[in-house]
Amino acid sequence: MSEDDDETEKLKIQKLNRQAMDQLLLCMDTTKTTGKIAFRIIKGCKGGEYKHGLASLAWSRLKTKFEPRGSTSLLKLKREFNQLRMKKDEDPEEWITKLEEIQERINDMETKITISDDEVISQIITNLPKEYKLEQKFLEKQLDDEEDLLTIEEIRDEKRLKYIKLKLKMRMKNQAITRKMTGQ
């Protein structure tokens, strides 16, 4: 490899590093305390050939600060997963996403403990509010069907439809009350 090739490669790496640093900075929500901390960590990774910062060092420091590790973090996440209940007015899609995020965080930890999709499905079915009881019974029956396996995505779709129906029903009820109150 010639010196020109070395210089070209070096410039290419520096450009990619700068883009990675920019992406990390763009991900920060500096209106929140954790975002401000992360921003300071990233900004503290400047030096040497990388005047904009070294992305691999920034990423490593961010992981050290924010990535859960150890049995205490694992137990905390597992408890959070087990105690997460869908609230009456909560969007099921957001709630299911929270469960999946915790599942992913636990499974990303390098331990023997993991959470399977079946455990997520079980958590969804057993922790629905009373407005979803009919769907809950249906999903429980569907769990026993070995030919048509239930997926998290199917549950998400079904709960989304129910949520939309509940919101529409609530809106119509509020409109009826408003009409009564205004004499229309």
Please state, in angstroms and rounded to a whole number, the distance separating the CA atoms of residues 182 and 179.
Answer: 5
Please state, in angstroms and rounded to a whole number, the distance separating the CA atoms of residues 16 and 38.
Answer: 20
Please state, in angstroms and rounded to a whole number, the distance separating the CA atoms of residues 136 and 142.
Answer: 10
Q: What is the pLDDT along the chain (184 residues), one digit of tens a residue?
A: 677 888 899 889 889 988 999 998 898 898 999 899 999 998 888 877 777 788 999 999 998 888 767 788 888 999 999 999 999 888 889 999 999 999 998 998 877 888 999 899 889 988 988 887 877 777 777 777 777 677 888 888 778 777 777 777 778 887 877 878 787 6
Beta bridge partners of 50: 47
pTM of the model: 0.60
DSSP code per residue over 27-79: T--TTSHHHHHHHHHHHTT-BTTBTT--HHHHHHHHHHHHS--HHHHHHHHHH
What are the extents of the domains in the chain? Answer: 3-66, 70-182
Calculate ∠ Cα 146-150-152, nearest 5°. Answer: 155
